[in-house]
C-alpha cells in the first residue's frame, strides 16, 4: 500500500468524497455523523488552501450541509448535478427532478413487493438501497435497469450496496474538472480521496492531470495511493501538511 505524499497548501487543491471517506458506512443513510472536531479541521484546511477544498459526493448538497453544520464547504452534489463553487455561494442545479418521474412510477411495484428495499429520492437522482437486504441486490439492480429501458438520457450506476439512476452526462470526474477550471481551484494540483466505484471517474481525472489520486479501502482502483479506511483518512488529513 503506497501512502500519499505530503500536500502543499500553496499549490494543491483538495477534493473529498463523503460516505466511506469522511464518514463510515452505516445501514441508514440518515445516520452518518462527523464529529464537530473533524468538521472544524476541514474548515481549517479550507482556509489554509485559500478555499481550494471541496466535497464531491453522490449526496445532495443540502444533505451534506446538514451533516457538516454549522459549517459549509464548496461542493459537488449528486455526482456533479449540483454545484457550489464557494461555501457561501448559491447552489446551481444542472437539471430538474421531473426527468425521473417515469422511473419513480416504474419502481413503485418493486418497492411495494420488496419492502426491505429503501428508495432515496434525491430529486435529480434515485437510489435503491439494499445494505440491510443483500439478498435483494439482484432484484434492485434488475428493477432499476428495467425502469430506465429506452431512456438514453439516463445512466444507472452501481455503488456500495446501492443502485442509482440519474441523468447522463455528469460524473465526479467531470465535476472535478469543472472545479479546476475556475478560482479558487484553477491552476492547482488536484488531490482526490474516495472509496467507491463512482469515485473512480474523479481518481482517473486526477491521475491524468498529474495529481494525487488516493483510494480509500482495498477495492480495485486506478489510484496510485491508498489509505486503509475512514479512520486512516482522518489521521492522514491531520499530518498531510495542510
Ligand X SMILES: O=P(O)(O)OC[C@H]1O[C@H](O[C@H]2O[C@H](CO)[C@@H](O)[C@H](O)[C@H]2O)[C@H](O)[C@@H](O)[C@@H]1O
Q: Residues with catalytic annotation? A: 17
Q: Which member of 8, 158, 160, 229 binds ligand X (CB under 6 A)?
A: 160
Per-residue x/- track, 37-76, ligand X (CB under 6 A):
--------------------xxx-----------------
Dihedral class, residue 97 (left if φ above 0, else alpha if ψ from -120 to 50, else beta): alpha
- Applying CB under 6 A, among 120, 158, 224, 232 the residue interacting with ligand X is 120
Stretch touching ligand X by CB under 6 A, among 41-49, 122-130, 142-150, 230-238: 122-130
Task: Work out whether 129 is an interface residue with ligand X (CB under 6 A).
Answer: yes
Cell digits of residue 111: 418497492
Cell numbers representing residue 95 in the block: 437539471
Q: How does 159-185 read in b/e, with b if 16+ C-beta sit within 10 Å? A: bbbbbbbbbeebbbbbbbbbbbeeebb
Any contact of residue 171 with ligand X (CB under 6 A)?
no
The piece of 154-162, 184-192, 225-233, 234-242 that touches ligand X (CB under 6 A) is 154-162
**Complex with ligand X: residue 6 or 62, whichever CB lies closer:** 62
Q: Binding of ligand X at residue 127 (CB under 6 A)?
A: yes
Render 31-67 in DSSP notation, one character per residue: G----HHHHHHHHHHHHHTTT-EEEE-SS-HHHHHHH
Q: Which is nearer to ligand X, 59 or 188 (CB)?
A: 59
Write down the residue that cell numbers 480521496 correspond to: 193
At 71, is the secondary structure helix, strand, or coil? coil
26 binds ligand X (CB under 6 A): yes
Pattern of binders to ligand X over 180-209, x per CB under 6 A?
----------------x-x-----------
Buried b (16+ CB within 10 A) or exposed e, 63-78: bbbebbeeebbbbbbb
CB of 54 to ligand X, least distance (A): 12
* The binder of ligand X chosen from 38, 41, 48, 131 (CB under 6 A): 131
Count Cα neighbours of 80 within 13 Å in the Cβ-side half-sphere.
18
Binding footprint of ligand X on the chain (CB under 6 A): 17-20, 25-27, 29, 32, 57-59, 120, 122, 127, 129, 131, 159-162, 164, 196, 198
Amino acid at each position: 500500500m503506497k501512502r500519499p505524499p505530503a500536500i502543499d497548501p500553496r499549490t494543491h487543491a483538495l477534493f473529498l468524497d463523503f460516505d466511506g471517506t469522511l464518514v463510515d458506512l452505516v445501514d441508514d443513510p440518515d445516520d452518518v455523523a462527523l464529529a464537530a472536531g473533524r468538521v472544524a479541521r476541514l474548515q481549517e484546511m479550507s482556509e489554509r488552501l485559500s478555499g481550494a477544498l471541496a466535497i464531491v459526493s453522490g449526496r445532495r448538497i443540502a444533505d451534506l450541509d446538514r451533516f457538516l453544520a454549522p459549517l459549509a464547504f464548496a461542493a459537488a452534489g449528486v455526482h456533479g448535478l449540483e454545484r457550489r463553487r464557494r461555501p457561501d455561494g448559491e447552489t446551481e442545479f444542472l437539471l430538474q427532478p421531473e426527468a425521473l418521474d417515469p422511473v419513480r412510477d416504474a419502481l413503485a411495484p418493486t418497492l411495494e413487493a420488496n419492502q426491505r428495499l429503501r428508495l432515496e429520492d434525491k430529486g435529480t437522482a434515485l437510489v435503491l438501497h439494499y445494505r440491510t437486504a443483500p439478498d435483494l441486490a439482484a432484484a434492485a439492480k434488475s428493477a432499476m435497469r428495467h425502469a430506465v429501458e429506452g431512456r438514453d438520457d439516463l445512466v444507472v450506476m452501481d455503488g456500495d450496496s446501492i443502485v442509482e439512476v440519474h441523468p447522463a452526462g455528469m460524473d465526479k470526474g467531470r465535476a472535478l474538472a469543472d472545479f479546476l477550471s475556475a478560482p479558487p481551484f484553477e491552476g492547482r494540483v488536484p488531490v482526490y480521496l474516495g472509496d467507491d466505484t463512482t469515485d473512480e471517474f474523479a481518481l482517473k481525472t486526477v491521475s491524468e492531470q498529474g495529481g494525487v489520486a488516493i483510494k480509500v479501502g482495498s477495492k480495485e482502483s486506478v489510484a496510485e495511493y491508498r489509505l486503509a479506511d475512514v479512520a486512516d483518512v482522518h489521521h492522514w488529513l491531520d499530518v498531510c501538511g495542510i
